[in-house]
Amino acid sequence: MSYLSLAPFIQKRPWLLRWMRPLSRWYFDNSGYRKLGLKADDLIPEESESVQLALKRLPPKEAYDRVFRMRRAFQCSLAHQLLPQNEWTTPDQDYPYLEPIIKEIEAERTEREDLESMIIKKRTTSSAKGGH
């Protein structure tokens, strides 16, 4: 999940965010996955260890719903049909349920690597008083 993105740059500037939001909404609506009843996080490629672990950590209800959505979308794709409009995913249903877990796992990994490549300096007696 490490790709270059302008999203953090834009999110920090509220005026830019206001300008970009309609464009972003149009883009998500037109990408079409919502018309198959999917959420954005269903599209994350599973072939990585972090995502596999995140999928194991999903709460049971989210995991079950995810499987149902994928099966429904696959059936639509086989039949070359879109879902009827009342079954499309609405924008407030399209929240990131997997991404926070993936970020947590990535943070743990980077922390482990940081701690392992740490340089340790021996304490001097003057700095020893008063704990760490």
Partner 1 sequence: MLSRSAFRQATRQSWLQQRRGMAAPASGSFQYQVGEASGIKFASRDTPGPIGTLGLVAQAGTRYEAFPGLAEGLKKYAFKNTDRRTTLRIQRESELLGGSLVSTHSRENLVTGAKFFRDDLPYFVELLAEVATQTSYRNHVMQEEIIPLIALDHKKFLASTSAMAMSSAHALAFHRGLGNPVKPSSTTPYVKYLTADALEEYAQTAYAKPSIAIVGNGVDHAELSKWINEFFGDARKSPLQQLTSPQSKYYGGEERIAHGSGNSMVIAFPGSSSPTGGFYKPEAAVLAALLGGESTIKWSPGFSLLGKAAQDAPSMHIATKSNIYTDAGLLTIAMNGSATDIRNTASKVVEALKGIAQGISKEDFQKAKALAKFKELEYGSEPQAALELTGAGLVRDNKPYQIDEVAKSVDSVTEDKVKQLVKEALENRASVSAVGDLYILPFAEEIGLKV
Interface contacts to partner 1, rule CB under 8 A: 56-57, 59, 108, 111-112, 115, 120, 128-132
Nearer to partner 1, 65 or 94 (CB): 65
Which residue is it, tokens 């994928």?
A: 70
Give me the least distance between CB of 18 and partner 1, in Å please: 33
Q: CA–CA distance from 53 to each of 46, 83, 112 (Å)?
A: 10, 31, 16
Run of H or E residues at 75: helix 60-79
Give me the least distance between CB of 115 and partner 1, in Å please: 5
Please give the structure tokens belonging to residue 82: 């879109």
Give me the least distance between CB of 120 and partner 1, in Å please: 7
Nearer to partner 1, 23 or 115 (CB): 115
Distance CA 43, CA 96 (A): 11
Nearer to partner 1, 78 or 128 (CB): 128
- Answer yes or no: are the C-beta atoms of 109 and 48 closer than 8 Å: no
Q: Is the dihedral of CA 72, 77, 79, 85 positive or negative?
A: positive
Give me the least distance between CB of 130 and partner 1, in Å please: 7
Please provide residue 68's backbone torsions phi and psi, each rounded to the nearest 5 degrees.
Answer: -60, -45
Nearer to partner 1, 6 or 115 (CB): 115
